[in-house]
Amino acid sequence: MGMTITEKIMACNSGRDHVVPGELVWTDVHTVMTMDFLGKQCFDKFESLGKKEVFDKNKVICVSDHLVPPPNQKFANMLNEWREVVKKHNITNFYDLGRQGIAHQIMVEQGHVLPGNISIGTDSHANTYGAVGSMGNAIGVTDAAIAMATGKAWFRVPETVKFNITGKWQPWVMAKDLSLHIMGMMHWNGHLLYKSLEFTGPAIKSLSMAGRMTLCNMTVDLGAKNGIIAPDAVTERYLRNRTTDPWEMINSDEDAKYDQVYNVDISDLGPTVAMPGKLDDTVPVEKLIGTKFNKAFVGTCTNGRLEDFAMMAEIMKGKQVHRDVNMILVPASQTVYLEALRAGHIETLIEAGAAIDTPSCASCAGIHTGVAGDGDVVLSAGNRNMTGRMGSRKAAIYLTSPAVVAASSITGEVTDPRTFDK
């Protein structure tokens, strides 16, 4: 019996020829990521193991993203402690204020995750790494500490569910719309809990790396262990100048066994919106036309990439943000910020009336930079919309794509971006 790509990765990195779902495996990990919010706890736990040096100071990646720039004294103190810990352990790859970005964006764009390997991180959206054919997985502080000490982690081999995506992408329709469509199609019912979600098909082949990152990123909110896309020519082009480490094209076997296979034709897929409070309560944008909102947000590890800024700039060029809307845009990294500046997208968006903030998790986690207040209605291209996610529990969050946010910010009400010429 053949293996899926996730099973192959687990077998290869545990020194085995074959694994099957349900088995426990002790695997090598390529990289371990931890960030400012949990990083000190990881190193404290690491030191409690009696260890003084991490397994490879080049393979433990440390990022400041949740707390930068610090919005208050408490977080400033946490950041200072975090910086001292990273310095103490002489970590090579430290992305702090000034060269920072959201951890998962940093991991992919800086070549810290590679096809065929396992990379783990202390944040739930580590599933993002599957975009390049890596097994990306979120782990807790204790597992991170053990991996930092040994270069290894244990997993139960997950069953794999395949999504075969066919059809042609329509104008103004993004990977975010597909993510939300699948969210509404599958619902949070436990069926995908601890499963590996494999995306394949001609529509995936034509999807950019930014879109692939969005798609894999949101699999965690279906309860999945990981999301993954087999490496191909898109992957090869993306990684060409990001790493000198060797990697291989790895795919699922033709006779691999899947727990379930779903076929999704995107030919008729349009812009999609998740209703406040529930990610899986999704509707076509047409059903919400005219809905008023007062805050717009685009950023996060889901939709803060160059492609997102380019699409928003195309929609908003020569137009103005509605007087009743406050629009905050946050590039996912300093690299994205610079790329968007050089391309002129930032200038276009600022001229339209948007505010651009320093790369960070920002208001996505409800910590700082544009948090929602009582009665606010937010149109967000982030990844979560549960009650209280972005601040006040008395705020409402509609979740959608950057294209919908851009078009709607001009009119002050939910608007179909397909009404704009492309």
- Tens digits of per-residue pLDDT, 91-149? 999 999 999 899 999 999 999 999 999 999 999 999 999 999 999 999 999 999 999 99
What burial class does residue 74 get, using C-beta atoms within 10 Å of its C-beta: 0-12 exposed, 13-18 middle, 19+ buried?
exposed
Residues 223 and 81 in one domain: yes
Q: How confident is the model at residue 63 (pLDDT cuts 50, 70, 90)?
A: very high
**256 shares a domain with 290:** no
Domain that holds residue 127: 5-264
pTM above the 0.95 mark? yes
Question: What pLDDT digit, counting tens, does each position of 237-246 carry?
Answer: 999 999 989 9
Domain C-terminal end among 219, 242, 264:
264
Give mean pLDDT, residues 382-390: 94
Q: Is 284 found in the same domain as 219?
A: no
Residue-wise pLDDT tens digits, 65-98:
999 999 999 999 999 999 999 999 999 999 999 9
Same domain, 389 and 304: yes
Helix (H) or strand (E) holding 85: helix 73-88
116, 209: one domain = yes
Cα–Cα distance between 250 and 116 in angstroms, integer? 6
Domain boundary among 234, 264, 294: 264
Q: Is the per-residue pLDDT at 422 higher than 70? A: no
Residue 248's region, left for phi above 0, alpha for psi from -120 to 50, else beta, is beta
User: Do residues 305 and 211 share a domain?
Assistant: no
Same domain as 67, residue 104:
yes
Domain boundary among 229, 264, 299: 264
344 shares its domain with 285: yes
Instruction: Kindly give the residue spans of alpha helices, DSSP state H, lying in 174-225.
Output: 175-186, 202-205, 209-217
Please check whether residues 76 and 170 belong to one and the same domain: yes
Express each pLDDT in 164-180 by its tens digit: 999 999 999 999 999 99
Does residue 380 register a pLDDT over 70? yes
Q: Which residue, 8, 239, 235, is CA-closest to 112? A: 239
Statement to judge: residues 112 and 183 lie in one domain: yes
Q: Up-side HSE of residue 275: CA atoms within 13 Å toward CB?
A: 9
Nearest to 404 by CA among 390, 388, 419, 383: 419
DSSP string, 301-343: TTS-SHHHHHHHHHHHTT----TT-EEEE--SBHHHHHHHHHT
Helix (H, G, I), strand (E, B) or coil at 215: helix
Judge whether 317 and 339 are in contact, CB under 8 Å.
no
Mean of the pLDDT values across residues 38-52? 96
Give yes or no: residues 170 and 281 share one domain.
Answer: no
The SS3 call for residue 79 is helix
Q: What's the CATH code of the domain at 330? A: 3.30.499.10
Q: What's the structural domain count of the chain? A: 2
Query: How many beta carbons lie within 10 A of that of residue 139, not counting itself?
Result: 23
Which 3-state string (H, E, C) describes 216-264?
HHHHHHHCCCEEECCCCHHHHHHHCCCCCCCCCCCCCCCCECCCEEEEE
List alpha helices for 354-418, DSSP H: 402-411
Write down the pLDDT at residue 369: 83
Handedness of CA 279, 281, 286, 287 (dihedral sign): negative
* Residues forming a β-bridge with 120: 32, 137
Q: Is the domain of 208 the same as that of 339?
A: no
